[in-house]
Structure 1
Amino acid sequence: MTDLILCGCGGKMGAAVRELASAREDCRIVAGVDLACQNSGLHFPVYRALSEVNEAADCIIDFSHPSTLPSILNYCRTHPGTSAILCTTGYSEEQTADIRDAAEELPLFYSRNMSLGINLLIELAKKAEAVLGDAFDVEILEMHHNQKVDAPSGTALMIADAVNEVRENNMKYAYDRHSQRKKREKNEIGMHSVRGGTIVGEHQIIFAGRHEMITLSHSAQSKELFASGAVNAALFMKGKGPGLYSMSDLI
């Protein structure tokens, strides 16, 4: 049995993780952390801060807010053997650097998207870029619900970073074309965001060449797929030593 602490237990993703974990026999949520969530109706205690949690756990699953990161890293430092699944998007460059540094002493699993399909899409995008090269322009379109705060999505940035890696990190990201009065440059990756309704998550990578276009896409139809990825990552991380793990390790 893997014991979990769920940060952001009152949010939409928290609800998806709660529902999934309750249906499984290999894990259980022993405590939740959420500023706004009341404990009514939940089968585990809910705290306003991770530092208040009394229950022991094998792993923390975080679907809350980037500001929670320092408390998660501190909790893992003061509770040896507890790993963290960092699923929150919107981390700054400084925070991602903190994650990399902390992984030298802590077992951390970090992915901007917990979907197996998205991570396969990224591998396909890398292969396409390696074959097509600079003869094709790359544009990335992402669509999410109207409550999502950060833009572009963390997944869109994952895709862009993967393509850029194939190009030896020589690409630059173009977020705001309407403010520019010039032709598109060859070393650009265009990033476009749509927010509306209840869209769970749509991502497209467009490779546009001369007289032809290739599009790779992924459509998330339920938040459950991200919850499933997070829970499977938690089971995978039980007993792991220090290091920065990702979906590629889980796959």
Structure 2
Amino acid sequence: MIRVILNGCNGKMGRVLAKLINEEKSMEVVAGIDREIDKFDNTFPVYSNIFSCLEKGDVLIDFSHPSSIRNTLAFCVETKTPMVTATTGLSGEEMTLFVEASKSIPVFQSSNMAVGVNVIIDLAAQAANALGNTFDIEIIEKHHNKKVDSPSGTAFMIANALNETFEQKKEYIYGRHGNEDQRTENHIGIHAVRGGTIVGEHTVIFAGPDEIIEIKHTALSKDIFALGAIRAAKFITGQKNGYYNMKDLIK
């Protein structure tokens, strides 16, 4: 039985994760961490301070807020608990903390846990390699009106994968406005849409001379992200110390 500590257990993703883990025969949530400890009637103890958690977990799954990431990593390193995190909106400095922590524990980090999203990232990179600079690249991401960070972490994952193909020579342009904003071939446009209850949609557009190629992923429910995190948790519990991501899971 894999014992899970769920950070952000009372958030939208945390609730979905708790439900799906409860349906897993080989996993159970032994404790939760959340700022609002009494928001729901959970079947496991919930702590507002992660360092107050008394339960021992085989893995911690983190769907929380960037402001808590330092404490979460410190707790996992201190207790030698492998970590799976999909928290987005992180700074470059905070991202380096994962690499540092991975020297002491296994760390699995991805801005998007959906297997399908990571497939389209690979497809987009292959397309960029084949098309080169003869096609302009634009990324459009759509999410619900409660999402606070933009562009999405997934949009950055896509853009970074594309930029690797071009040896980091591309410049990211976030939306466009004005009368003197003509695109150049070294641009990757990234555009964010926020509205309604859109779970998540990412489209990569390759616009070339007289033809357009689009690669698109649409999330129909949050379950796909939770199922990916569960799969990552099962994977990471058997790994040595190190930094892992979706490429390691789906290779």
| TM value normalised by structure 1 | 0.97
User: How do residues 73-222 of structure 1 correspond to structure 2 at under 5 angstroms?
Assistant: 73-80=73-80, 82-179=81-178, 181-222=180-221
Q: Given the alignment of the two structures, is residue 225 of structure 1 paired with residue 224 of structure 2, yes or no?
A: yes
Contact 2:77–2:101 under 8 Å retained in 1: no
1:37 aligns with 2:42: no
How far apart, in 1, do the equivalents of 2:118 and 2:181 lie? 34
| Structure 1 gap ranges (5+) | none
Deviation at 1:181, TM superposition (A): 1.2
Contact 1:39-1:46 at 8 Å conserved across structures = no
Q: Which runs of 5+ in 2 are unaligned?
A: none
Between 1:66-75 and 1:12-21, the stretch displaced more is 66-75
- In the other structure, the counterpart of 1:52 is 52
Q: Does the 8 A contact of 1:202 with 1:218 survive in 2? A: yes
> Separation in 1 of the partners of 2:110 and 2:42?
27
Deviation of the 1:95 alpha carbon:
0.6
Closer, same or farther in 2 for the Cα pair 1:127/1:53, shift >3 Å?
A: same
Q: Secondary structure at the match of 2:55?
A: coil
CA distance in structure 2 between the partners assigned to 1:64 and 1:122 by the alignment: 24
Contact 2:10 2:39 (C-alpha < 8 Å) held by counterparts: no
Instruction: Report the counterpart of residue 237 of structure 2 in structure 1.
Output: 238
Distance 1:180 1:235, change over 3 A: farther
Question: Counterpart amino acid of 1:25?
Answer: K
Cα distance in 1 for partners of 2:14, 2:83 equals 15
* Structure 1: distance between partners of 2:88 and 2:68: 12
Q: What's the CA shift for 1:117?
A: 0.2
Distance between the aligned counterparts of 1:122 and 1:107, measured in 2? 24
CA offsets per residue over residues 27-70 of structure 1, 9 Å max, x none? 00000000013165211000001101000001110101011111
Identity %: 46
Q: Which runs of 4+ in 1 moved over 4 A?
A: none
Native 8 Å contact 2:10 2:40 kept in 1:
no
Distance in structure 1 (CA, Å) of the matches to 2:104 and 2:18 = 29
Counterpart CA distance in 2 for 1:44 and 1:180 is: 57
The whole-number CA distance in structure 2 between the counterparts of 1:225 and 1:176 is: 28
**Matched-pair contact (CA < 8 Å) for 1:39–1:45:** no
**Which TM-score applies when normalising by structure 2?**
0.97
